[in-house]
Amino acid sequence: MFGKAKRRRLGAFFVLAAMAIAAIFYACDNFGIDANFFKGTIKGEIIVEERVPPNTDEIRVAVTKKYPPSDIISLIFSGPLPFDSDSLVTSQRIPYDLQVPLDEYEAVFAIWKEKDQSFNPADIIGLYGDLLMAQPIPVAVTDSTPTVDHIDITIDFTKVKRTAKIEGRINYVGAWPSNTAAVAIFAFFEVPQVLPDDFIRFLGAFEILPTDPTLTQYDYRLRVPPGTYKYIAVFWLAQGAQLLDFKTLGFYRNPQTPDQPGQVTVEDNGTAAGINISADFANANN
């Protein structure tokens, strides 16, 4: 019926068509994503034993497979929790349940968001475990226990009641590295020694600063909870670095012993001014 050349061409077609059919069969092996991917549930209550600060916009529960998380996009967030913002309410328990894939999670925590502000990773106001010591209790959501209940979290708003201010001037030394992802100012209650635990345990407040490569100085004003801060530093983060891989560009120095960090005490509604810091970009690559 066909000539030799035609038979060869037909043969080529059938080989290619067989590949196509094999591919189609491969396509039939499943239906892609499904509604039950988040098969697990973590549930419990958020326990609030004080008044919710009036500048509270949202409180959410988040879980992470690794704590502290390497970046914010690896977190699974709940929706905003329905807290009562009435100033007369001093005690409330807010139930939550969070759909998660079956897995082991190092930490379940509550994160706070201020009105008209973005989420600040420092604003963890509750942790399933010990918030003060930054020691979370892991939670395993498995096939045999897809729902893990009673993961209750007690809230402590102390950290986010930023009713005091520390202000001063940051003098940038050297050229801005081209791989700058972020520059931020941090205030710690104690000098952090052990990373990452101390970093989380002693952090009072931090703020991301503008990253304009033409800046040679910047006047900052950091809102902090009242207290004594023993380490105020400007940190630098490289593009692609993990969340806690900050490099210290400079810190506030004790005027008497400049090789030591300076200490700053600030009262409720008070301001500690003149807390100037020299931030040297030469330290970015150390």
Give the total of residues touching other proteins (CB under 8 A). 52
| Phi, psi torsion values for 25, nearest 5 degrees | -60, -40
| Phi, psi torsion values for 122, nearest 5 degrees | -80, -15
R_g of the chain computed on alpha carbons: 26
Q: Does 119 bind other proteins (CB under 8 A)?
A: yes
* Structural tokens at position 135: 């020691």
Identify which range of 84-92, 93-101, 158-166, 275-283 contacts other proteins by CB under 8 A: 93-101
Identify which range of 73-81, 156-164, 165-173, 219-227 contacts other proteins by CB under 8 A: 73-81
Identify which range of 30-38, 133-141, 189-197, 249-257 contacts other proteins by CB under 8 A: 30-38
CB of 281 to other proteins, least distance (A): 16
Q: Does 101 bind other proteins (CB under 8 A)?
A: yes
Q: Does 108 bind other proteins (CB under 8 A)?
A: no
CA atoms within 13 A on the CB side of 141: 26
CB of 249 to other proteins, least distance (A): 16
Q: Does 132 bind other proteins (CB under 8 A)?
A: no
With respect to other proteins, which residue has the nearer C-beta, 154 or 211?
211
Dihedral, CA of residue 185, residue 197, residue 271 and residue 208, to nearest 10: 20
Contact 122, 96 (CB under 8 A): no
The helix (H) or strand (E) run that includes residue 25 is helix 4-27
Q: How far is CA 94 from CA 79, 110, 154, 155, in A?
A: 13, 12, 10, 11
Q: Does 258 bind other proteins (CB under 8 A)?
A: no
Q: Does 208 bind other proteins (CB under 8 A)?
A: yes
The conformation of residue 158, written as its DSSP 8-state character, comes to: G
Q: Is 103 helix (H, G, I), strand (E, B) or coil?
A: strand
Quick one: which of 49, 74, 138, 216 contacts other proteins (CB under 8 A)?
74
Binding footprint of other proteins on the chain (CB under 8 A): 2, 6, 9-10, 12-13, 16-17, 19-20, 23-24, 26-28, 30-38, 71-77, 99-101, 118-121, 178-179, 181-182, 184, 208, 211-213, 237-240, 243
